[in-house]
Amino acid sequence: MQAASNKLAEYLGDAPTVVSPEYKSREDGSTMKALAWFGARDVRVIDAPIPDITEPDDVILKVTGTTICGSDLHLYHGEIIQLKEGDILGHEFMGIVDRVGPNVKNIKVGQRVVASFQIACGECSYCQKKLSSMCDRTNASGLQNAMYGHRDAGFFGYAHFTGGFPGGQAEFVRVPKGNVNLLPIPDSVPDEKALFLSDILPTSYHAVVDSGVKKGDVVGIWGLGPIGQCAARFALMKGASRVIGIDKVPARLVFARGKSGVETIDFSKYSDVVKRIQELVPGGLDVAIDCGTFHEPKTLLHKVEKTLMLETDVSEIVNEMIESTKKMGTCGIIAAYAGYTNHFNIGALMEKGIRLIGHGQAPVHKYWRDLLALVESGELDPTFIVTHRVSLDDFPDLYASFDKRLDGVEKVFVETKFSAPQSAGTPQLSRPADWQKTIYPTS
């Protein structure tokens, strides 16, 4: 799939951009540790050249915190096209500014900053509305243009389908358009609270805002990974009267019940999720949000069709959402999808008047200042979602353990040699190879 997509991309050629993913290495030839992709379930820590200022708007960061995302698992499984061997992954990271290009005026060397997972130009019509993930000028993938009719912004560490920019699961990273893609962090906010402004906080918040959750709503959330857990919190903050979370990982169900007061459905026990929701909420959900993942089909039909490449994605969750939501209710998709799916219940969508919203990749710039203010005021403590702390050296094991959802893992803070000492009340350093080899509840 990768070889074919890379060939097709070559044939289609690059779309125009104002930034280049290539970077200049430092003249002294110095190297850094970075996590790179080599194939499905094959990621390795490599020595890569440290990036230098390549374009005048660049900032080089010394990474002080990074992490793994459910979206990285799609890369790990080789489900996103246009990956190449040696691609450095990672789209959620923060750090200390090491070097700035001559055009960078609002970011200074030595400052602590968080990067958005998307690279926005700051000037196009989307960027002017802070819809940074929709930026028109930073992703050269002609293939995405051909498949979707338009293309997303460039993303860090997320295949050449989103621009081919080296990512932040590394000791250093080059941030193009540093003036717009970095958010300065005040000293009062430690890295463990700031890092998640890069992606999961704006993403889950966007899903709740964009699907219009309001006071009194009954909200269903499919998938209780970090995105689902944070979306549940934000739905409750917006006044939802009940949140029902659906997953099958016991520790994640326990986490949602215990930490956020979410009602849960274990879909390994209730195979008919729609029926169970109708028992719990006879009129149907007001809002349903897909925070799951398309690479784990439940039914034999989709397993077979996906394996035979008769579809790239799976419509099971979307169908369950449509069938569980009340007439004229809203279903939102924040989970990532790549291409096409079979057996989509278009009839139920139409007949019930369901408002089905693709939330898109979340426009981080639209929300990150407001969310930082909530963190600063103490109204939002993102460390509730951090279950582990791991060293960059252990990234390959972390991919494997996060994929299997061992040891009650939700979000992980990954430290580098530049990280500050661990903040009080956050998890101790552990090694994923030593994590409990069980997915059963830990409390």
Residue ranges that bind ligand NAD, judged by CB under 6 A: 69-71, 73-74, 199, 203, 222-228, 246-249, 252, 267, 291-293, 296, 298, 316-317, 334-336, 359, 361-362
DSSP 227: H
Tokens representing 195 are: 């890092």
Please say which residue, 121 or 406, places its beta carbon nearer to Zn ion: 121
For residue 46, give the 3-state DSSP assignment.
strand
Closest by alpha carbon to 245, among 261, 222, 225? 222
Among 100, 135, 159, 380, binds Zn ion (CB under 5 A): 135
Binding-site partner at residue 135 among ligand NAD, Zn ion, none, CB < 5 to 8 Å by type: Zn ion
The least distance separating ligand NAD from the CB of residue 431, rounded to whole angstroms, comes to 20
Binding-site partner at residue 121 among Zn ion, ligand NAD, none, CB < 5 to 8 Å by type: Zn ion
Closest by alpha carbon to 413, among 141, 93, 99? 93
For 381, counting Cβ atoms within 10 Å of its Cβ (0-12 exposed, 13-18 middle, 19+ buried), the class is middle
Please say which residue, 54 or 330, places its beta carbon nearer to ligand NAD: 330
User: Are the C-beta atoms of 354 and 220 separated by less than 8 Å?
Assistant: no
The least distance separating Zn ion from the CB of residue 92, rounded to whole angstroms, comes to 6
b/e for 277-310, b at 16 or more Cβ within 10 A?
Answer: beeebeebbbbbbbbbbbbebbeeebeebbeeee
User: x/- contact string, 112-131, with Zn ion (CB under 5 A)?
Assistant: --------xx--x--x----
Residue 67's alpha-carbon distances to 116, 350, 363, in angstroms, are: 13, 40, 19
The least distance separating ligand NAD from the CB of residue 13, rounded to whole angstroms, comes to 27
Is residue 331 part of the contact set for Zn ion (CB under 5 A)?
Answer: no
For residue 88, give the 3-state DSSP assignment.
strand
φ, ψ dihedrals at 54, nearest 5°: -110, -40
How far apart are the C-alpha atoms of 56 and 62, rounded to whole Å? Answer: 18
Is residue 71 part of the contact set for Zn ion (CB under 5 A)?
Answer: yes
Please say which residue, 296 or 381, places its beta carbon nearer to ligand NAD: 296
User: x/- contact string, 189-218, with Zn ion (CB under 5 A)?
Assistant: ----------x-------------------
Binding-site partner at residue 154 among Zn ion, ligand NAD, none, CB < 5 to 8 Å by type: none
Binding-site partner at residue 293 among ligand NAD, Zn ion, none, CB < 5 to 8 Å by type: ligand NAD
Residue nearest ligand NAD, CB atom distance: 70
Please say which residue, 50 or 119, places its beta carbon nearer to ligand NAD: 119
b/e for 258-273, b at 16 or more Cβ within 10 A?
Answer: eebebebbbbeeeeeb
Candidate segments 31-39, 132-140, 213-221, 357-365, binder of Zn ion by CB under 5 A:
132-140
Please say which residue, 214 or 298, places its beta carbon nearer to ligand NAD: 298
Residue 361's alpha-carbon distances to 46, 336, 390, 397, in angstroms, are: 29, 8, 27, 27
Binding residues vs Zn ion (CB under 5 A): 69, 71, 120-121, 124, 127, 135, 199
